[in-house]
């Protein structure tokens, strides 16, 4: 399997897009801080109380760990069932190959719930 020039160009374009997005995002954040600084300096010169610096808006916490855990568990259990059904009789013992991913998914789900209980 060999890569073509088009594959390389598309990867460069994707990498450039990601770098460009991160650059624009950091410039916007920097510009916001500059505006806040100018407002505070103007308030100090006029002798009025300094406006509060707005804190970063808190992002909602997405349940990535349990979603990934459920996905891994379902995918690996499904793969185990398919391997058990499809494989010929001499190689039936190979159905346990996806078992580590099942345990990984169960571990991610358990970690999520143990972390949630420790925060209470």
**pLDDT of 111:** 87
The CA distance from 95 to 84, in Å, is 5
Q: What is the pLDDT of residue 94?
A: 87
Q: What is the pLDDT of residue 104?
A: 92
pLDDT by 10s per residue, the chain, length 120: 677 887 788 888 888 888 988 899 999 889 988 888 888 888 888 888 876 666 666 666 667 888 888 999 999 999 999 888 888 888 888 888 999 999 999 998 898 888 766 655
Map tokens 């349990």 to a residue.
Answer: 66
Q: How far apart are CA 64 and CA 61, in angstroms?
A: 9
Q: What span, in angstroms and rounded, lies between the C-alpha atoms of 39 and 45?
A: 10
Structure tokens given for 55: 């804190």
Interhelix angle 64-86/99-118, rounded to 10 degrees, is: 160
Residue with the two structure tokens 């006029």: 46
């Amino acid at each position: 399997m060999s890569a073509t020039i088009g594959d390389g160009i598309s990867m460069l374009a994707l990498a450039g897009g990601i770098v460009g997005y991160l650059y624009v995002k950091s410039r916007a954040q920097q510009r916001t801080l500059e505006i806040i600084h100018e407002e505070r300096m103007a308030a100090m010169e006029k002798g009025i109380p300094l406006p509060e610096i707005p804190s970063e808006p808190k992002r909602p916490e997405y349940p990535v760990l349990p979603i990934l855990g459920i996905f891994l568990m379902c995918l690996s259990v499904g793969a185990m069932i398919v391997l058990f059904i499809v494989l010929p009789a001499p190689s039936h013992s190979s159905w346990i190959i996806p078992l580590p991913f099942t345990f990984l998914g169960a571990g991610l789900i358990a970690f999520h719930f143990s972390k949630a209980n420790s925060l209470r």
